[in-house]
Amino acid sequence: MSRLRGAFAELKAQGRAGLVTYITAGDPSPAISCDVLRAIAAAGADVLEVGVPFSDPIADGPVIQRATERALAAGGNLSVTLDMVASVRTEIRQPIVLFTYVNPVLQMGVDAFVARAAEAGVDGVLLLDLPIEESDDMCARLAARGIDQIFLISPTTTDARVRVAAGLARGFLYVISRLGVTGARAHVAGTAAPLVERIRAATSLPIAVGFGLSRPEHLTEVAGYADAAVVGSALVTVIGDAGVDAPAKAGEFVRWLRGQ
């Protein structure tokens, strides 16, 4: 059983929704990022999503764009991100998912990327701009090394494309609660619950809801209809504001989200 499948099975057995946390690898430095991963894992995050810094993001809002700029300035890239995961893997039991764009993977080479991701202990990969229709080969290569490919589903995704994504995906489906870029919001989008209900009709995979979630009450609301909530920009803001104190502050923030 993969770590992702095991994590969601454990959550179901406990009768609770999970918390997926996103950080940008290398912000403010690779070494501090590693300590942040250790801290948020110890604080109770259920899945760790690690964003690869990339110069031309299309889905990231201002907060994550600034984090990416800091990470790139500190020498971050896909190779450094994989080294980071490898350095913390034995200390962290939670699944680790890479969030990246296709370009860095093509620059490294698909075979080299899959091999290094497997060696580093990556559990899942979300290639944001890889079209579902062109993902068969990547899915097969990742699956051959025991890595789950995660797909994004948005409010505008058709039922037909939901079924295709559900047939190809492993681990979980990442549901975008609203259209637009990432960023914390005051309220959970009203489109989220009906979208999850629509996706449930096409798959038995766990569903995680993200984009805009930033507070404990958001997690409580999402837990009413999804298997996990994803918090990204709000956590990245904490890290960006904290500097060298990022690990401690990130851990405190995750404990606050979980009501601890």
DSSP code of 89?
A: G
Q: Which of 60, 148, 221, 227 is catalytic?
A: 60
Is 50 in contact with 87 (CB distance < 8 Å)?
Answer: no
Model confidence band, residue 187 (pLDDT cutoffs 50, 70, 90): low
Higher pLDDT, 126 or 214: 126
The set of residues, in sequence order, having a beta carbon less than 8 Å from that of 171 and lying 6+ positions away, is: 2, 4, 5, 95, 97, 123, 124, 148, 149, 150, 205, 206
Measured over the CA atoms of residue 7, residue 172, residue 136 and residue 57, the dihedral's sign is negative
Is 22 in contact with 232 (CB distance < 8 Å)?
Answer: yes
Whether residue 227 has pLDDT greater than 80: yes
pLDDT of residue 183: 46
Report how far residue 124's alpha carbon sits from residue 106's, in angstroms, rounded to the nearest whole number: 17
pTM of the model: 0.94
Measured over the CA atoms of residue 6, residue 237, residue 36 and residue 146, the dihedral's sign is positive
Active site residue 49: yes
Whether residue 167 has pLDDT greater than 80: yes
Tell me what the pLDDT averaged over the chain comes to: 92
In the CATH hierarchy, which fold is given to the domain comprising 3-257?
TIM Barrel (3.20.20)
DSSP code of 124?
A: E
Whether residue 242 has pLDDT greater than 50: yes
Q: Where are the beta strands (DSSP E) in 140-199?
A: 148-153, 173-176
Q: Which of 49, 123, 148, 227 is catalytic?
A: 49
Active site residue 123: no
